[in-house]
Structure 1
Amino acid sequence: MTLAPDLSSTKTSLLRDRYGTAFDLDAPWSRTLSDLFSHRSIRAYLSKPLPSDTLELLVAAAQSAATSSNLQTWSVIAITDQARKERFAQLAGGQSHIQQCPLFLVWVADLARLAHIAENRGLPHEGLNYLEMFLMASIDASLAAQNAVIAAESLGLGTVYIGALRNQPEAVSAELNLPKHVFAVFGLCVGYADPEKPAAIKPRLPQEAVLHQEQYSLEIQNEAIEHYDETMTRFYAEQQMNTPGNWSQHSVDRIATPESLRNRAQLREFLNNLGFELR
């Protein structure tokens, strides 16, 4: 396929950035793909407000994502109050970009709406107690949020997910007044990136580590992981990131003990308290 010169050069550079090495594909390309491949985590924001109705537009994009059985088992809570954003920044371990961004979104797995509908009709809803429903709601929330991210970035906005909300789920739930059967899966900063603090595209694992043909294999991933460790060691150094060792070492440190999960080892107990019985 013949591409316009600007798209062709964009394709080549973005593929190289995404994998940290030359990676060429003789495949169709589009400006949507350019937006996708340009994704990076933005952790420094301008105070510039968002255009009118941006929030509603992002939610419409989120609602355009797939949802299992059309149950729509997610909701999102928009936070613009500065004091509340500052509290969330502290709950997330002092992540100052939460209080910088003009819009902070908390995406929740929401089974309360279905429970409410069933209870209002005097109908049973025992099925909500099973792990499948919690998993469905978490997937629904993730798909919706990613649609919103793509929409935001296509408008020139920056984003970063905040998984650290799961470090203190009780405090997060109290701050948001969450009822039973609702759980904050993650947060999302949205705003204009500070050009004085640019963020780089972080390389991902080679496709040889994640793309399997017909059947899964661990053994064939070894060489790709070794290559990725070298790529990420260079990236950490170039970006002056305080990440000791290579990607493999960083990753195994993250899963070494219950303590390395950063309070999330107690997540099942908290979910039970919120009405997610996870049978």
Structure 2
Amino acid sequence: MPMPAGIPIIDTMIGFPHEGFAQYDFIRKQTRDKGSEEMEFPAEYMFKQVPKDLPDGDPVAVTLREMDKYGIERGLVGVSDETSRLALKKHPDRFIPSSDISDPNDVTGSVRQLRRDYEEFGIKATGVFPAGTFPQVAIDAPQMYPVYQTCVDLDIPIFCTAGIPGPRLKFAVQEVSRIDTVMYDFPDLVFVTRHGCEPWEKLAWKLMLKWPNLYYSTSAFAPKHYPEEIINYANTRGADKIIYAGYFPMGLSLERIFTDMPHVPFKDEVWPKFLGENARRVLKLDA
């Protein structure tokens, strides 16, 4: 069914333009192939028209203009950089704070930072990119367990990249089957996947059917490439489990996303949940 107009959209993965692509240096330190060295954006081979040359004099204003243009009411952003902290301070009604677990090898440091971010910024979520950690830390690795328990204690979800990573990094740490162990050991943990879960999309929806607190977000995918298994699940038993996430300005423009979006064959009753209601509930925005 066509995407209805006027639905307040919550984007659970959005950011701000930066000069250059230095934010991906942590990935370049780990890749070994020549192609990755030559790409500005480490997964650029997968994306067409990566947003570049965006004005960076006032990056917060740039993102706000894009949000207003496409009806995005609020966006989930990090708290680790100065631009994001400024946005959260000046526009608390538009941006939602989230932290990142950058080095789960430092178990104590990760837990302490997570608690500090909760106390200082009131974070509504945290996130982790297992394939991007170094040494890599798997979704179900022992180092992650204190982080998961802290999320339960703070009553916040964790957004976790799952499936084959875009950058040319080893993928085994992000195998979707690992999520089953985590959900078994932490039944109160709210766990949201990022970046597609490919090629295990069917397993992802089977696990969502099994575990009440497991969700899927559509980050890093242009809507024309949303997996068919995920669309079918949303249209049948999973309307409450699929959450919109973009990828601006990391790899996709909002223009690209919302040009494709009206052609996604969601049922009428799925659209409000997908675009905003599910995120609002998972992030407890009305609490």
Q: Which has the larger radius of gyration?
A: 1
- Give the TM bin, normalised by the shorter chain: under 0.3
**TM-score calculated relative to the size of structure 2:** 0.25
**TM-score calculated relative to the size of structure 1:** 0.25
Q: Which has more helix, going by share of residues?
A: 1
